Amino acid sequence: MSHNPLIATSSRPFGLPDFSAVRSLHYREAIELGMDEQRAEIEQIVQNPEAADVENTVVALERSGRTLKRASRFFFNQSAADSNDELRQLESELAPKLAAHSDAIRLDSALFERVAAVHAQLGSLDLDEETRRLVELTHLDFVMAGAALDDQSKQRLRELNQELSSLTTQFQRNLLADTNDSAVLFTDRAELDGLNEGQLSACAQAAAERGLEGWLVTHSLFTDHPYNAQLTCRESRRRIYEASIARCSRGNEHDNTALVQRITALRAERAGLLGHPNHVSAVLTDQTARTPEAIDQMIYPLAGPALANLQREAQVLQQHLDEHQLTQGEQGYPLQPWDWSYWAEQVRAERYDVDTAALRPWFSYEKVLVDGVFWAATQLFGITFGERSDMQTYHPDARAFEVFDHDGSLLGLFIHDVFTRDSKRGGAWMNNLVDQNHLFDELPVICNNLNVPKPAPGEPVLLSMDEVVTMFHEFGHALHGLLSEARYPSLSGTHVPRDFVEFPSQVNEMWITWPEVVNHYARHHETGEPIAQEVLERLETSKTFNEGFATTEYLASALLDQEWHRIAPGAVVEDVMAFEQEALERIGLANPLVLPRYRSTYFSHTFAGGYDARYYCYLFSEVMDADTVEWFKENGGLTRANGDHFRRTVLARGNTRDPLESFRELRGRDAEIAPLLARRGLSAQ
């Protein structure tokens, strides 16, 4: 093991391993060694003859498992961003072992007795705010994990957790495989009319990489493919859409329907063991929403106004479609779900003179990243970036940037991995390879992953408006990790409740069209010409256009997630698709023109991604986000003073205190919902 690059002390920057030397056997060795080490560390805590105190129990627990945490971070980053059959098999093998290891710690009666003893003394202990928070959350974590249960219940809980770990891993494996398998091949370029040369190049490249002739359209994680907003051929749109919504429900070896049934049943049983009526109630215990009633009061009521907006939009699109067919002498047909995005863009172009697809030449990847994302962060926080092209990362496409504070001191490392590939799971996300913390004096290493189609060599990388939004959004998460100032790694950066973690990332989206920022990065990739001011004004004017669609497809998924996880222990779902349809009807969001952003069988967030019963969090966080955007506007916008205030009150604090207290210090009060309703065009409802 001395030759294992994940275990041996590294002299490389930030302590990163030699990725070129890492093999799957190294991950296995390091993770298994890490589990052994942490078990020994826990035994030392339990066997300590001294009375339990903060340092010898809670902080000692925080210090434990360093090898395991390091190896696991690198492994799961690799398996998500650049996997292969060997890594996927290893993930399936390790998942239940890691679940069992976690349970062995959190269900250890002797260890919980010491943690509980420290927690009971909190009222009399003289502790700083962050350490007090660590004690409170450590105790809550043990209670939520079932540490107070009897031995028989604990054993059943272990069995449930191990099986769930295996099933959620299998769900993600199936989704990656079926997403790849259901990519749509076109052999006639005319079928892809409407796509630009860069997109066609990416499709041709994707086909060539699989040894196919033609143009291959690989799926995004969403139900509706971004290309459907541009494709003029209705049949092509239909083929892509129907392939997308059929993923993991086609009766093949990658079908996820049985997994959805089993995962939800096991989660409900586990919630019952822990004394909760359903999984939602159990999960929300440590979230900022706290109870299902909060979701009932804030999120569910938005379904009616959203659907009303959607229905008005559908009438406009159908009218536009009818008029088009009449002028073309075509036989009329009703609007279908694969038509929505295309005709929405036609109406947007006509009503607001905005063609978002035509804006791609102004959104070159390099300019957006360096002169947009990075530049805005420099203006706000004084931080700067230096690319380390000499630094090897886990994949040749992943770029490394050192990040420096306003005083020139090193803050951390940022890794940007933008291109899609068959070995990468869909969607976009942020990973912490190393958490900022003062306990071990470690600087953060943060990754952003996107899925932008990679054009052929020599072709420009031009982004869609949605991809620009995603880049700014994910970098908001990165800032949360990079600007953290925590002592304890478990309270650092993005280690906050799920329904708060999206707040800083959503705030960072505000700079996309902020005049100073957009004029700095939105330059034509050939001429350098800035994007026209009138185009930006029309984009601003059109912001609430199609919000009925956007809100409805998101809410349909968020509330579908809630419905799946409000199943009572022992309840049986016989038919996944029937349950989905009945749930949407019950919620009031069953509309054949707009399916959920993610249907059940490819809903990775909830069945494999840690957002189970918490996909509502994007909208919950957006309440704070929209209110914060108003604060920035009221106080002068893109200034160092505003950035420093946001950094000090929110980003630096992570979970070192109740995140809602961080918001109150930022805003001077609790969040108000009015800015969100106005943003989404729901104010008049």
Q: Give the closest residue to 680 by CA, choosing from 595, 619, 612.
A: 619
Span 566-581, average pLDDT: 96
48 token code pair:
């300590």
Per-residue pLDDT tens digits for 444-469 = 999 999 999 999 899 999 999 999 99
**Residue with the two structure tokens 């379904």:** 303
CA dist 644 and 657 (Å) reads 18
Taking every pair of Cα atoms in the chain, the longest distance, rounded to a whole number of angstroms, is 89
Contact (CB, 8 A) for 568 and 268: yes
- The segment(s) of the chain belonging to CATH 1.20.1050.40 are 13-148
Task: Return the sign of the alpha-carbon dihedral for residues 209, 210, 212, 217.
Answer: negative
For 402-455, the DSSP string reads EEE-TTS-EEEEEEEEEE--TTS-SS-EEEEEE--BTTTTB--EEEEEEEEPPP
pLDDT at 330 over 80: no
Count the alpha carbons within 13 Å of 594 in the hemisphere toward its beta carbon. 26
The predicted pLDDT at position 2 comes to: 59
Cβ contacts of residue 151 below 8 Å, gap of 6+? none
Task: Return the sign of the alpha-carbon dihedral for residues 226, 227, 230, 234.
Answer: negative
Is residue 10 very low, low, confident or very high in pLDDT (cuts 50, 70, 90)?
confident
Per-residue pLDDT tens digits for 354-367 = 888 889 999 999 99
CA of residue 369 relative to chain centroid, distance: 19
Contact (CB, 8 A) for 415 and 400: yes
**Other beta carbons within 10 Å of 375:** 20
For 453-464, the DSSP string reads PPPPTTS--B--
Q: By CB neighbour count within 10 A (0-12 exposed, 13-18 middle, 19+ buried), where does 136 fall?
A: middle
Bridging pattern class, strands 410-419 and 445-452: parallel
Mean pLDDT score of the chain: 95
Percentage of the chain lying above the pLDDT 70 cut: 99
Supply the residues annotated as catalytic: 474
- The segment(s) of the chain belonging to CATH 1.10.1370.40 are 361-485+495-541
643 token code pair:
């950035």
For 522-549, the DSSP string reads -B-TTT-PBPPHHHHHHHHHTTTTTHHH
CA dist 272 and 245 (Å) reads 33
CA dist 175 and 254 (Å) reads 7
The predicted pLDDT at position 302 comes to: 94
Percentage of the chain lying above the pLDDT 90 cut: 92
CA dist 287 and 284 (Å) reads 5
**What is the 3-state secondary structure of 62-125?**
HHCCHHHHHHHHHHHHHHHHCCCHHHHHHHHHHHHHHHHHHHHHHCCHHHHHHHHHHHHCHHHC
Contact (CB, 8 A) for 229 and 344: yes
Per-residue pLDDT tens digits for 481-517 = 999 999 999 999 999 999 999 999 999 999 999 999 9
13-148, CATH topology level: Glutathione S-transferase Yfyf (Class Pi); Chain A, domain 2 (1.20.1050)
Contact (CB, 8 A) for 501 and 655: no
Query: CATH says 361-485+495-541 is which class?
Result: mainly alpha
pTM (2 decimals)?
Answer: 0.92
Per-residue pLDDT tens digits for 15-30 = 899 999 999 999 999 9
Q: By CB neighbour count within 10 A (0-12 exposed, 13-18 middle, 19+ buried), where does 645 fall?
A: middle
Q: Give the closest residue to 16 by CA, choosing from 6, 30, 26, 27.
A: 6
CA dist 471 and 63 (Å) reads 34
Per-residue pLDDT tens digits for 252-311 = 999 999 999 999 999 999 999 999 999 999 999 999 999 999 999 999 999 999 999 999
CA dist 465 and 203 (Å) reads 19
Q: Give the closest residue to 393 by CA, choosing from 14, 68, 8, 7.
A: 14
Span 542-568, average pLDDT: 96
CA of residue 473 relative to chain centroid, distance: 10
CA dist 353 and 640 (Å) reads 35
The predicted pLDDT at position 223 comes to: 96
**Other beta carbons within 10 Å of 677:** 17
pLDDT at 620 over 70: yes
> In the sheet that 384-387 helps form, which strands lie side by side, from edge to edge?
384-387, 399-404, 410-419, 445-452, 429-434
pLDDT at 171 over 70: yes
Per-residue pLDDT tens digits for 371-420 = 999 999 999 999 999 999 999 999 999 999 999 999 999 999 999 999 99
Span 179-208, average pLDDT: 95
Q: Give the closest residue to 460 by CA, choosing from 385, 374, 524.
A: 524
Span 135-145, average pLDDT: 97
pLDDT at 331 over 80: no
Q: What are phi and psi of 184, to 5 degrees?
A: -105, 125
CATH number of the domain at 295-303+546-679, out of 3.40.640.10, 1.10.1370.10, 3.40.50.300, 1.20.1090.10? 1.10.1370.10
What angle, rounded to 10 degrees, do the helices at 109-120 and 129-145 form? 140
181 token code pair:
């398998």
Residue 377's SS3 state is: helix
Contact (CB, 8 A) for 493 and 484: yes
pLDDT at 104 over 80: yes
pLDDT at 329 over 80: no
Span 144-172, average pLDDT: 97
Give the DSSP letter of residue 186. Answer: E
pLDDT at 332 over 90: no
The predicted pLDDT at position 684 comes to: 45
Q: By CB neighbour count within 10 A (0-12 exposed, 13-18 middle, 19+ buried), where does 658 fall?
A: middle
Is residue 685 very low, low, confident or very high in pLDDT (cuts 50, 70, 90)?
very low
CA dist 188 and 168 (Å) reads 39
Cβ contacts of residue 564 below 8 Å, gap of 6+? 260, 264, 579, 583, 600, 606
The predicted pLDDT at position 383 comes to: 98
Q: CA end-to-end span of the chain, whole Å?
A: 64
The predicted pLDDT at position 1 comes to: 56
Q: What are phi and psi of 100, to 5 degrees?
A: -65, -40
